[in-house]
Amino acid sequence: MRNASLQQDFREASSASAEWEARGRVVMPIASSRAIAFHDPYPLTVTRAEGSFLWDADGQRYIDLASNMYSLVHGNAFPPVVQAAAAQLAQGSAWPANNTAQIELAEELVARLPAVEKVLFCNSGTEAFSLALNIARGQTGRHRFLMAQGGYHGTMWDTNLGGRAAPGPVHFSAPYGDTAAFLSVIEQHGDEIAAVFLEPVLGSGGFALPPAGFLRAVYEAARATGIVFVLDEVISFRLAFNGAQGALDFAPDLVMLGKVIGGGFPVGGVGGRAELLAVVDPAAPRALASGTFSGNPVTMAAGLASVRALTPAAIAHIDRLAQLLEAGLQAEAAAKSLPLHTRRVGSMLGLFFYDPGQAPVFAASRPDAAFTQELHLAMLLEGLFPLPRCAMTTTTVMTAPLIAEVVQRFGRALARVGSLVPVPA
């Protein structure tokens, strides 16, 4: 049952956002181009962002715990990024020729990512998937791909949340972490599969981690069958100076990149072995890599500033803050006798008001979905801005005192939810 008081309080506090929502629905399906931002009764309209804060159309300030879907690792309007982008913008935004910033960013990524010998840029994680698949198809002459059920590699019909059936289906899927299931698909259909796509952590699956040995086993089976193994690091790049791949005992064939490497601008990238990237060489093309804004100098300059600032010390800082946040939220929930379980991977944190075990968790099937929807609304009313599923992340510009404030506000949000049972019997 929805908390009518919370709904009413939210509407009273966000009348300007309600007006923009109504205005937007006249000309857009949901007043936004991003379905992930939607929540009842309507999403806030944000008009400004700086550092760790967002301001809505009613002038209210929020502590930003969403970081634009984990992409703004240095917070909003990070001065080095703003300065780099502004300086480049004054020199022009895009042209159909090479630019120095994309070469510098490519050099930075090749230097720090062990599996990347060469890199190509595009405009989103979804485009990165398409580019990686095109490269794999050009290399192998095969058409289909394999991914995890519950995996997320963008918004193409076949790739979001495990894929959907389409005429002449081009994908296979198997449960994330189920080595036997993946190896079975490869054994039966390996000669049809161009690439296997896997994430080192399921960002959209409740930060589920794979069992030990899973990624390597799939990698070895793929390589033995001539399948290109693609590691999706769009989200996980922020976890370590060398990305999540730095902790692996093998080198993926290709790596998908995005989010952090654009400094807050639209970006995607594919890196990997030089022989695979050569598939798109215009002198002897077996696949096409192009795009009106791919590698544009403004995004590349902003991305270079963002990546260079993501040092080992910066990563250690955001991880420590996430540890503080996790402990503080758990203490607040325990004080109210609420069964909070958390999953933290580096600087990213998911909240569950039941025990999810180690399995992937998806919004549509969460038994605590009604409770987390109410909690999300209560957190907004207390000046906190998490993702709608109550996932959150820390940034390099946050401080321990700010985290303490987040914890206090979270406690007040729990009090607002009142007597609603997290998981109804």
What are the boundaries of each domain within the chain? 4-73+312-417, 79-309
Cα gap 214→411, rounded to integer Å: 38
Q: In this predicted structure, what is the pLDDT of residue 154?
A: 84
Q: Is the pLDDT of residue 163 over 60?
A: no
**Cβ–Cβ < 8 Å for 405, 82:** no
Of the pLDDT bands very low, low, confident and very high (cuts 50, 70, 90), residue 167 is very low
**What is the C-alpha radius of gyration for the chain, rounded to an integer number of angstroms?**
22
The region of weakest confidence among 301-310, 336-345, 359-368, 369-378 is 359-368
Backbone angles phi, psi at 49, to 5 degrees: -145, 135
Cα gap 282→392, rounded to integer Å: 42
- CATH, domain range 4-73+312-417: 3.90.1150.10
| H or E element, residue 314 | helix 312-335
Average pLDDT for residues 232-254, to the nearest whole number? 96
Of the pLDDT bands very low, low, confident and very high (cuts 50, 70, 90), residue 157 is low
Q: Is the pLDDT of residue 285 over 50?
A: yes
Instruction: Give Cα separations from 154 to 124, 204, 234, 414 (angstroms).
Output: 8, 11, 10, 33
Q: In this predicted structure, what is the pLDDT of residue 38?
A: 84
Average pLDDT for residues 287-306, to the nearest whole number? 96
Give the tokens for residue 240: 């370590």
What CATH number does domain 79-309 carry, 3.40.640.10, 2.130.10.10, 3.40.50.300, 3.40.1080.10? 3.40.640.10
Portion of the chain with pLDDT greater than 70, in percent: 96
Peptide bond into 41 cis (omega under 30): yes
Q: In this predicted structure, what is the pLDDT of residue 48?
A: 98
Portion of the chain with pLDDT greater than 90, in percent: 83
Q: What is the pTM of this model?
A: 0.94
